[in-house]
Amino acid sequence: MKFLLGLMLGSLLILLNSCKPIDKLAQQTSKRQYVTEEWMLGPFEKRNDVNPILSALDSTEFLCPIRGTKVKWEEKDVFNPAAIVKDGNVYILYRAEDNIGTYAGTSRIGLAVSTDGVHFKRHPLPVLYPDNDSLKVYEWEGGCEDPRIIEGENGVYYLYYTVFNGEIARLCVASSTDLYHWNKHGMVFGKVNNGELKDYWSKSGSVITSLQNGRLKAAKVNGKYWMYFGESEVFIATSDNLIDWVPLERSEQMVKKLKYLGNSKWQVSLPETRKSFRTAITTRQGRFDSGLVEPGPPALLTDKGILFIYNGANSGKNGDNTIPANAYCGGQVLFDATDPTCVINRCKESFFLPDSGSETLGQVNNVCFLESLVYFNNTWILYYGMADSKVGMAVCKK
């Protein structure tokens, strides 16, 4: 489940599937009933009649500014969806990999739009990608991956994504008003203590939002914006402007040394940060999230508290023996509405597990990686990565 995305404008490709109106979403879904508790959002039902809604294409080409040649930028795999509702449409920014890049393909972020939340038309070019700019040293040639998107004030959208150069993953942010053209702002922790965290391994930023006039927008708690981030454990950061973030510290705890294990023949050992960050949640032995925990979609401020959907990997040594080792499943946590560090409730079992062919077999087997949540036509839609290879969707009419 480990990395990156791309997007831009030209001829449109329509992903064809039987067209079902949004008000019939619940009629064409998986028969499996997932466990939910009273405080949780759900149950979600997979749209197996249309899944996967996005897959790899070998017909779209992009003139890579670094290579100086055309590449089939979404030929290998398409996954890691970030979704937002804008002007009555659903937009998905997704990670696409080519077959050329050294690290399982270079990743770029593409864009697709839908009038019904189900059938998407793709922009033929990536909208965010490694370029000959100041971030090239951090982005090339791994690329831009793993996005989450939120709407801020005054019609500005913020995309939190990971850049990877083969050694370190760094959480970055870009902003846009139209979703096609993006202004890169660099690393979210780049200004902390004069760049002390510049080489800190970081990814997966989930900013707290609230439902405002039918759209999920960034929401302040106690005068600050809040973000859950990290993998292996989930940490917390705050911001005044949605661009520059500062992790919350906890002096008695040191952040673990992380390793990224590639899906082929390579691995990278990461340097330990000298900072100690406050943990929001960590792994649990004997459960689906025993291996690691990683943020999912932007968190949601509700009348019950802050609902946080996350991804958990199952350990093969001390995990849930009813779930395959290393499987990625979905979980939910409820934090206090006035204290985003305080856990009120946490699911006992996963509410979202890989069980279809596209989820169990792919670049990484047995993966449902939850990454975006939108409220569209009175329906909650969860978009997710399927085995790090395709994009699927599930719905909830709660």
Question: What mean pLDDT is predicted for residues 349-376?
Answer: 96
The predicted pLDDT at position 390 comes to 98
- φ/ψ of 390, rounded to 5, equals -145, 175
High-pLDDT (> 90) share of the chain, %: 81
Rounded to an integer, what is the distance from CA 246 to the centroid of its chain?
20
Length of the chain in residues, anyone?
398
High-pLDDT (> 70) share of the chain, %: 85
Is the predicted pLDDT of residue 13 greater than 90, yes or no? no
Question: What mean pLDDT is predicted for residues 81-109?
Answer: 97
Domain 13-396 annotated CATH 2.115.10.20: yes
Q: Which residues fall within 8 angstroms of residue 293, CB to CB, at 6 or more apart?
A: 231, 232, 233, 234, 281, 282, 283, 310, 311, 312, 313, 331
Kindly report the average pLDDT of the chain as a whole number: 87
The predicted pLDDT at position 34 comes to 58
Is the predicted pLDDT of residue 41 greater than 80, yes or no? yes
Question: What mean pLDDT is predicted for residues 68-76?
Answer: 98
Domain ranges of the chain: 13-396
Structure pTM? 0.87
Question: What mean pLDDT is predicted for residues 300-329?
Answer: 96
CB 242 within 8 A of CB 271: no
Is the predicted pLDDT of residue 102 greater than 60, yes or no? yes
When computed from its CA atoms, the radius of gyration of the chain, rounded to whole angstroms, is 19
Question: What mean pLDDT is predicted for residues 310-330?
Answer: 96
Positive or negative, the CA dihedral 326, 328, 329, 333 is positive
Confidence of residue 35 (pLDDT cuts 50, 70, 90): low
150, amino acid identity: I
> Tokens 């968190």 sit at which residue?
299
Residue predicted with more confidence, 165 or 264: 165
Alpha-carbon distances, residue 241 vs 171, 178, 208 (angstroms):
16, 19, 13
CB 187 within 8 A of CB 139: no
- Tens of pLDDT, residues 121-164: 999 999 999 999 999 999 999 999 999 999 998 899 999 999 99
Give the span between the Cα atoms of 203 and 205, in whole angstroms.
6
Cis link prior to 4 (omega < 30° from 0)?
A: yes
* Dihedral angle, C-alpha 58, 63, 67, 69, nearest 10 °: 80
CB 309 within 8 A of CB 294: no
Give the span between the Cα atoms of 389 and 78, in whole angstroms.
5
